[in-house]
Amino acid sequence: MANELHHTLYATAKGGSPLTGPEYGAKDAHRIDGAVVGDLLYVDDVVGSPRALAIGSAGQVLTTSSGLPAWATLFASAQNVSDDILFSWGDGNDTVSLNRSTSLAADTALTNVLVGTPVTSAVAANSFVLSNITASGDFLFAGNRGGNSEEFLFFDSSAGVLYLSGYNGGVSLVLDADPDAPDAGYAMVWGNAAGSIRGLIVENDDNTNVASDAELLIRSGGASGGDPQLRFLIEGEQNFTIGLENASSDGLTFSAGAALSINPRLIMATSGATFSFQQAVEVNTASGTNLTLNAQGAGDLILQTGGVTLLTLDGGNDSLIAAAGIRIGADSGDNEIDDATQGAASTTLYIGNSSIDVTSDVRVKSDIELWDGQATVLLNMIPVKSFDYDSHVPFGGIYDGKYVGLMAQDVYRVAPWAVNTQGGAYCRNCLNGVDCSTHSNPWTVKADLLTGMIVKGIQELTERVKILED
């Protein structure tokens, strides 16, 4: 019968003397049927009957099954390491893990887990901590791509540098569920949020030192490399790229394309602080707001075409200089104010409603006939008076004597075409030379328009002198 405990007489089994007392403890005095070297005995029932447990396999540990001892393979089923129990790797317990049952404050050491002066975040209760506590011991996590191990996360402990690797397809920092794969070769911050912003922030939170800058650095390899650039894209729509055009004197370039060389619009040179617009330029302000170009100090504001200066706002002299004259109303020499004769002088220009009419050309006149009016009679009807100006002094102060001249109202009664009445020709106040609340501008005699009558008067006098002399 298997596992039966046999009692054997010492004398019988060994050929010795008959038993004289209990010798149950003697080796070979009891045997278990079928038991071999390495089997274990255990109590099989309530009366203490022994039973053999066959030797287990290498690596197995003794456990229980249905209330009886049993061999089992370690970690072949769910295992548990209790709260706060260190589970370590390495002869020196280099790398340890535990489930921290209670919260742990930031930057707080934990014996054999977080050592030295930790720089760590606060953790909540029941947080898992995995730590390599050996100085300069690194952490490497790897997957297997195509049969070859490939690192995806590495912390160089001695350098304090974390490497997040996506050697084949890139890296994605995912902010929402169900991410797209990153664009090949890109590290991507990915989000998919309706009505919310997803972004990337570069921040230096210090607010005590003016050198505490925050910087987003975009860097290319060098003069023989490509362009450091920032590209904006509305998918399926428009690209816009800003960057340093390495192939074009390193100028800061604004382009309406997927590269700086595509449709460049604005280039800021690396020297001379020159902006070069590559297309027609239109500068708009918001409605009702000013556009100001300000040359500081005594700097000039200069407008050029083809490198030739046409207009200068001379900051040192507070003057406006038009190098080639100013054309008013039409692009014609006839309309030009200049320091040289221009055009056919067939155009009337105005200052206010006062005209500068240099036209005497017969070709711009009609209904021409000799005038047989009595010029001397008419001229005699215009009184010549002496006077002072009240406030409207045309050529500075009066130092002695008085002006001698014509009163516009007097001239108007005789030669109305020679008077600029400023809209008051039919106004009783203006006509009588009294203050008028309707027409504030003073009348002006256009003396050149009287020239014809004066010439005619001289001709009449000449004729009379000739008659008297004859």
Q: Which of the stretches 116-124, 161-169, 198-206, 437-445 binds Zn ion when contact is defined by CB under 5 A?
A: 437-445
- CB nearer to Zn ion: pick between 278 and 441: 441
DSSP state at residue 396: B
Q: Can you tell me the distance from the alpha carbon of 100 to that of 131, in angstroms, rounded to the nearest whole number? A: 12
Output the CA angle 202-208-214, nearest 5 degrees.
15
Transcribe 83-110 into DSSP letters: TT--EEETTTT-EEEEEESS-B-TT--B
Instruction: Check residue 430 for interaction with Zn ion (CB under 5 A).
Output: yes
Q: Can you tell me the distance from the alpha carbon of 126 to that of 98, in angstroms, rounded to the nearest whole number? A: 9
Instruction: Check residue 431 for interaction with Zn ion (CB under 5 A).
Output: no
Contact with Zn ion (CB under 5 A) among 427, 444, 446, 452: 427
Q: In what order do the strands lie in the sheet with 251-255?
A: 229-233, 239-245, 251-255, 264-268, 275-277
Q: How far is the CB of 383 from Zn ion (least distance, A)?
A: 22
Q: How far is the CB of 439 from Zn ion (least distance, A)?
A: 4
Instruction: Check residue 425 for interaction with Zn ion (CB under 5 A).
Output: no
Q: How far is the CB of 438 from Zn ion (least distance, A)?
A: 5
Q: Which of the stretches 94-102, 158-166, 266-274, 430-438 binds Zn ion when contact is defined by CB under 5 A?
A: 430-438
Q: Can you tell me the distance from the alpha carbon of 204 to that of 216, in angstroms, rounded to the nearest whole number? A: 11
- CB nearer to Zn ion: pick between 16 and 433: 433
Q: Can you tell me the distance from the alpha carbon of 26 to that of 36, in angstroms, rounded to the nearest whole number? A: 18
User: How many residues are recorded in the chain?
Assistant: 470
Residue 366 CA from chain centroid, whole number = 66
Identify residues 315-334 at the interface with Zn ion (CB under 5 A). Answer: none
Residues near Zn ion (CB under 5 A), total: 7
Give the strand pairing for 301-305 and 161-164: unpaired
Instruction: Check residue 265 for interaction with Zn ion (CB under 5 A).
Output: no
Q: Which residues of 376-397 are buried (b: 16+ CB within 10 A; e: fewer)?
A: beebeebeeeeeeeeeeeeeee
Spatial CA neighbour of 19 closest among 7, 11, 29, 28:
11
- CB nearer to Zn ion: pick between 375 and 430: 430
Instruction: Check residue 439 for interaction with Zn ion (CB under 5 A).
Output: yes
Contact with Zn ion (CB under 5 A) among 429, 440, 451, 459: 429
Residue least distant from Zn ion (Cβ):
427
- CB nearer to Zn ion: pick between 212 and 429: 429
Instruction: Check residue 98 for interaction with Zn ion (CB under 5 A).
Output: no
Q: How far is the CB of 388 from Zn ion (least distance, A)?
A: 23
Q: Which of the stretches 68-76, 110-118, 316-324, 439-447 binds Zn ion when contact is defined by CB under 5 A?
A: 439-447
Contact with Zn ion (CB under 5 A) among 94, 436, 446, 449: 436
Q: Which residues bind Zn ion (CB under 5 A)?
A: 424, 427, 429-430, 436, 438-439
